[in-house]
C-alpha cells in the first residue's frame, strides 16, 4: 500500500511538474511571441523608416548636387572673371615679353648670320694672308734685295711709331763720304738733342730662320741655327768695315745699332749663342730687335720732348722779360702823357681866364655887340657867359 501510494504521489508530482513546465513554457512562448511580434513591427517600421530615409537622402543628395552645381557654375563664372581680371595685365606683359623675345631672336638670328658671314670672310682673309705670307716668304727667300727692303720698311715703321719726326729728328738713306772718298748710305740717322747722331743699319737673315721653323728634324734645325749665327757674324763684320762712326760729317756715338727686324730670329740668336752680343760690342756694334729698338727710340723721343720743353721755357722766359721791359717803357710814357695833360690843362685854364676874366675881357665885349643889335649866326656857349656873369 505504501509502495502504491508512493508511486501514485510520484506520478502526481511529475504530472504537476509537467503541467507547471507546460504552463511556464506557454507563458514564455506567448511572452516571446509578443516580443517577436513587437520586434517584427519595429523591424518593419525601421525598414520603412530606412527606406524613407534613403529616399530622403537621395532627394537631399540631388538637391545638394543641384545647389553645388549652381554654386560651382556661379563661382566658376566669378572665378573666370576674377582670373581674367588678374591675368589680363600678366597676359599683356606676356605678349610684350613674347614680342620682345621674337625681336631679340630675330635680331640675334641676324647677328648670327652676320657673324657667320664675318667669320667666313675672316677665314677667307686668313687664308689669303697665309697665302700672301707664304708668297712673301718665298719672295724674300729668293731675293736678298727684297729682304733688305722689307727690313728697312719695318725699321721705318718703328721710327714712325716712336714719335720721332722724319727729316727733323731722323733721316733715311742719306749719303755721306768717308775720309777715303767712298760714299756710304746708312739706313737711318737719328739725331740726339746733345748734337750727337745714332746710326741704324738693318740686317736680315731670313732664309736660315725660315728653314729652321720649317724643319722637323733636330739635326737640320741645329744646322739652320748655325747658318743663322754665321750670317749674323758676317753682317757684323760687314757693318764694322764701313766704320760709320768715323764719318766726319756726322757726330756719331762710338757704336752703331744693327737692327734685326724679326723678333723671333733675335730671340733665337741670343738663346743659341750668348757670346755674339759681346762679339758685336767689340766691333762697336749693338744688336737690337724691334722691341729693344723701339724702347731706345722712345727714350730719344722723350729727350727731344724735354729739349723742346726746355727751349720753350727759355723762349717763355725771354718773352716775359721783353714784355716786362715793354711794360716799364709804357708806364714811363704814360707818366709823361699825364704830365703833358697837366701842362695842357694849365694852359687851357690860363687861356679861359684871359677870355672871361677881368675888365674888358673878350667875352663881355663880344656880348655887347648883341645889345647893339648885331645878329650873328652863332652864339657863345652859356657856360662861358655864366662864368662871365659870376665874375
Q: What is the pLDDT of residues 122-147, one digit of tens each?
A: 566 555 544 544 555 554 555 556 66
Mean of per-residue pLDDT scores for the chain: 72
Instruction: With a cut of 70, say whether residue 63 has pLDDT above it.
Output: no
Query: What's the start-to-end Cα distance of the chain, in Å?
Result: 214
Instruction: With a cut of 70, say whether residue 388 has pLDDT above it.
Output: no
CA atoms within 13 A of residue 1's CA, in its CB half-sphere: 0
pTM more than 0.85: no
Every domain of the chain and the residues it spans: 1-32, 146-313, 357-391
CB 146 within 8 A of CB 140: yes
Fold of the domain spanning 146-313: Trna Endonuclease; Chain: A, domain 1 (3.40.1350)
Stretch 143-153: mean pLDDT: 68
Stretch 115-120: mean pLDDT: 67
CA dist., res. 339 & res. 348, Å (int): 14
Instruction: With a cut of 80, say whether residue 196 has pLDDT above it.
Output: yes
With the C-alpha atoms ordered 193, 196, 202, 203, is the resulting torsion angle positive or negative?
A: negative
Quick one: pLDDT at residue 61?
57
* Contacts (Cβ under 8 Å, ≥6 apart) of 161: 294
Instruction: With a cut of 50, say whether residue 50 has pLDDT above it.
Output: yes
Amino acid at each position: 500500500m505504501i509502495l502504491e501510494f508512493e508511486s501514485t504521489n510520484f506520478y502526481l508530482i511529475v504530472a504537476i511538474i509537467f503541467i507547471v513546465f507546460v504552463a511556464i513554457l506557454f507563458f514564455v512562448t506567448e511572452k516571446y511571441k509578443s516580443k517577436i511580434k513587437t520586434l517584427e513591427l519595429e523591424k518593419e517600421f525601421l525598414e520603412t523608416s530606412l527606406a524613407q530615409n534613403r529616399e530622403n537622402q537621395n532627394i537631399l543628395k540631388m538637391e545638394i548636387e543641384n545647389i553645388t552645381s549652381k554654386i560651382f557654375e556661379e563661382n566658376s563664372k566669378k572665378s573666370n572673371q576674377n582670373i581674367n581680371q588678374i591675368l589680363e595685365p600678366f597676359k599683356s606683359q606676356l605678349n610684350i615679353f613674347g614680342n620682345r623675345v621674337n625681336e631679340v631672336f630675330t635680331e640675334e638670328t641676324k647677328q648670327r648670320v652676320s657673324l657667320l658671314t664675318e667669320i667666313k670672310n675672316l677665314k677667307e682673309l686668313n687664308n689669303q694672308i697665309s697665302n700672301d705670307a707664304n708668297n712673301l716668304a718665298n719672295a724674300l727667300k729668293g731675293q736678298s734685295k727684297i729682304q733688305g727692303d722689307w727690313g728697312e720698311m719695318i725699321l721705318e715703321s718703328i721710327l714712325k711709331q716712336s714719335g720721332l719726326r722724319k727729316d727733323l729728328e731722323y733721316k733715311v738713306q742719306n749719303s755721306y763720304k768717308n775720309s777715303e772718298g767712298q760714299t756710304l748710305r746708312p739706313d737711318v740717322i737719328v739725331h740726339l738733342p746733345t748734337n750727337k747722331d745714332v746710326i741704324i743699319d738693318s740686317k736680315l737673315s731670313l732664309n736660315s730662320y725660315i728653314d729652321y721653323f720649317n724643319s722637323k728634324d733636330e739635326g737640320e734645325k741645329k744646322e739652320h741655327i748655325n747658318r743663322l749665327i754665321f750670317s749674323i757674324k758676317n753682317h757684323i763684320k760687314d757693318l764694322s768695315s764701313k766704320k760709320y762712326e768715323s764719318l766726319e760729317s756726322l757726330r756719331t756715338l762710338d757704336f752703331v745699332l744693327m737692327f734685326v727686324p724679326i723678333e723671333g730670329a733675335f730671340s733665337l740668336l741670343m738663346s743659341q749663342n750668348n757670346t755674339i752680343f759681346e762679339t758685336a760690342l767689340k766691333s762697336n756694334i749693338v744688336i737690337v730687335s724691334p722691341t729693344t729698338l723701339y724702347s731706345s727710340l722712345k727714350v730719344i723721343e722723350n729727350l727731344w720732348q724735354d729739349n723742346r720743353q726746355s727751349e720753350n721755357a727759355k723762349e717763355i722766359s725771354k718773352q716775359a722779360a721783353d714784355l716786362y721791359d715793354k711794360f716799364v717803357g709804357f708806364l714811363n710814357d704814360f707818366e709823361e702823357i699825364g704830365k703833358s695833360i697837366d701842362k695842357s690843362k694849365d694852359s687851357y685854364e690860363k687861356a679861359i681866364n684871359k677870355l672871361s676874366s677881368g675888365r674888358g675881357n673878350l667875352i663881355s665885349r663880344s656880348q655887347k655887340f648883341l645889345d647893339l643889335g648885331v645878329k650873328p649866326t652863332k652864339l657863345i656857349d652859356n657856360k662861358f657867359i655864366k662864368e662871365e656873369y659870376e665874375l
